[in-house]
Amino acid sequence: MIVLHSSVSLLLTGLYLFVVAYLIKGWAALKRSKLDGAPLVTRITILIAARNEAERIHLTIEDILAQDYPKHLTEIIIVDDHSTDDTANIIRSYADRGVKLLQLNEDKPLNSYKKKAIAEAIASSTGELMVCTDADCRMGSKWLSTIVSYFEIKKPVMISSPVTYFEETSLFERLQTLEFGYLIGIGAAFIGNGRASTCNGANFAYRKDVFYEVGGFKGIDDLASGDDELLLQKVAEVYPHQIGFLKERDAVVYTHAKHTLKEFLQQRRRWASKSTRYKDKKVVALAVCIWLFNLSLLVNAAMSFYNLNYLLLFLVQFLLKYLIEAAFLLPITSFFKRPGLVSLLIILGPIHILYFVYVGLMGNTRRYAWKGRVVR
């Protein structure tokens, strides 16, 4: 019995090593773009869906207004999603500086308010390129010009750009930054390998006409989440080789880690809830295999209390997992100028096993809380 169990565990380990090696290759394939500094001519619309963001939204708006991109080519639309705080009034106070406020007035419950908000903003937009971010994000002054330079030179129909956490105040938040870098790296690496599948809506751009060409959010609007990844996958079916990842530091968007474990788990369950709707079933199959690999680590750790052979098997698996993940994360954290975060992998590793198994189960079986609502 132990021989069969060991064989399955090692098979799953080998598969995981292969997947991460594939990701390492994909990240390396993404080359820094040569942005030529030519005059930019694309009219853009910045889209933000906001709900109860009174604490930070003024910082995001100020960063957007401080962009070095031509003001006559920039449109800013922020949709207030039934906020119960002062969010709408804060947005309204920037009206004289060109910030447009839309307010959702849905009288019937929806499960996808954010998609509705984005669709409403796109419908009233005048830009060619939609640039999406979140109401609690920060960015440097060259964020927009870097995105548009890439768009005009490379001609992609959709652009995924880097996001990272900053201003951490605890070990828990720094661990999240490392783990989040892993997730951003996965999305980037798949694009680098020519198989776009994941991205992050905090730094996401696409052509308006392509949004309508693929039917917008039709077919994915029954899920609360997925305004980024599921839309990307719809576009990837039509334009598989015209989706880019912008590997430029000036294009980085910064946001914050979750302060509590409860908030963190709710967020990750929300992200996991999208996985069963992925268009590329090979990616789903890989995700299931990775989940099974982590489950095997958990089982072997538990069984080691009864048989030391399982402990040896667990240690071999864990060491190989640690080494390949460190090799993947070092260039990613170096890109974000945070290579020291990799030293936390020895702490994150065991925690990641537990959380990955938990989120994989809960993300697809239970409702979760998001922005004061219980959704699925």
103 CB contacts (<8 Å, ≥6 apart)? 79, 80, 88
- Residue that finishes a domain, picked among 277, 310, 328: 277
Residue 363 structural domain: 2-26+280-371
In a domain, 121, yes or no: yes
Domain count across the chain: 2
What is the per-residue burial (b if ≥16 Cβ within 10 Å, else e) of 254-271? Answer: bbbbbeeeeebbebbbbb
Q: Domain check: are 249 and 122 in the same one?
A: yes
Alpha helices in 155-225 (DSSP H): 171-192, 208-213
Domain end position, chosen among 277, 293, 316? 277
* Mean pLDDT for the chain overall: 91
Same-domain check for residues 215 and 68: yes
Paired tokens of 162: 């880097």
Round to whole Å and give the CA distance between 80 and 196. 30
**Are 241 and 291 in a shared domain?**
no
At 251, which amino acid appears?
Answer: A
pLDDT in tens, the chain (376 residues): 677 778 999 999 999 999 999 999 999 999 887 776 788 999 999 999 999 999 999 999 999 999 999 999 999 999 999 999 999 999 999 999 999 999 988 766 566 789 999 999 999 999 999 999 999 999 999 999 999 999 999 999 999 999 999 999 999 999 999 999 999 999 999 999 999 999 999 999 999 999 999 999 998 887 777 789 999 999 999 999 999 999 999 999 999 999 999 899 888 887 777 766 676 777 888 888 899 999 999 999 999 988 999 999 999 999 999 999 999 999 999 999 999 999 999 999 999 999 888 887 876 655 655 555 555 5
The 10s digit of each residue's pLDDT in 164-220 is 999 999 999 999 999 999 999 999 999 999 999 999 999 999 999 999 999 999 988
For every residue of 342-358, DSSP letters joined together read GGGHHHHHHHHHHHHHH
Same domain, 119 and 217: yes
285 and 240, same structural domain? no
CATH classification at residue 237: 3.90.550.10
Of 246, 277, 308, which residue sits at a domain end? Answer: 277
Q: Is 376 part of a structural domain of the chain?
A: no
* The pair of three-digit structure tokens given for residue 17, joined into one six-digit string: 């090593």
* Predicted TM-score of the model (pTM): 0.91
- If you write DSSP's letter for every residue of 58-83 in order, what string do you get? HHHHHHHHT-SS-GGGEEEEEEE-S-
